[in-house]
Structure 1
Amino acid sequence: MENQNPVHVFATWKVKEGEIETVLNLLETVQKESGKEKGNLFYKIHQSNSDVNTLVLFEGYTNEAAVAAHRNSAHFQEFVLGKIVLLLENREIVLTTPVHYL
């Protein structure tokens, strides 16, 4: 059965030298459109203090189906897969479920 708990995504991107402004500009659109998705809880973009070419995206979704809907969205396909990935040296993604203690 599919996980119905919230899912948080941590995506660490190492941007190619000289491409950070382009990636940040493209991410502005991705963030805006992702925020409109029914299952999106938040979409936050962080830039490393020690390496300006490293970005960490912190995203929240209501469940796994919402993550899948995000990845299948037109803006993810066009901007992230179609443009941004080409400007990255490395891309690591970790999906997590928050742990709640009693």
Structure 2
Amino acid sequence: MENLKPIHVFATWQVKEGQMESILNILQTVRAESIREKGNLFYKIHRSNADENTIVLFEGYADEAAIAEHRNTAHYQDLVIGKIIPLLENREVILATPVPE
């Protein structure tokens, strides 16, 4: 079997003024659902110390297929795409593979 490499997601979200609490509430549901996915390794939510309107997500998935599955889930489509993204000023997502130590 091919050795599958984990993929980490670093997402930086610039939240529209006044929308942070709404987004954090929705994100708790997204996190709870995401960590139940078979290919999810972890899902961590951070708030920037430098900018109170910036959220940084750090997520881990078993492989590329697990990320594709995550993006096709109802909670991702309904909550992230449908409810959160309209409340963001900007969104940057970086996919990275951990470098062996």
For 1:90 and 1:74, how far apart are their aligned partners in 2? 23
CA RMSD for the aligned pairs?
1.3
Are 1:70 and 2:70 matched, yes or no?
yes
Note if contact 1:20-1:53 (Cα within 8 Å) is conserved in structure 2: yes
**How many residues are aligned here?**
100
Shift of 1:3: 8.3
TM-score (norm 2): 0.96
Question: CA shift at 1:49, angstroms?
Answer: 0.6
Q: Moved runs in structure 1, 4+ residues, more than 6 A?
A: none
- Superimposed CA distance per residue, residues 43-100 of structure 1 (whole angstroms, 9 cap, x where no aligned partner): 0000001111100000000000000000000000000000000000000000000000
Identity among equivalent positions (%) equals 66
Correspondence for 1:57: 57
- 1:13-53 Cα distance to aligned partner (Å, 9 max, x none): 00000000000000000000000000000000000011111
Partner of 1:27: 27
Give the alignment's TM-score, normalised by structure 1: 0.95
Provide the residue aligned with 2:41 in structure 1.
Answer: 41
Q: Aligned residue for 1:96?
A: 96
Q: Any unmatched runs of 5+ in structure 1? A: none
Counterpart in the other structure of 1:12:
12
Letter in 2 for 1:89: E
Listed as ranges, the gaps of 5+ residues in structure 2 are none
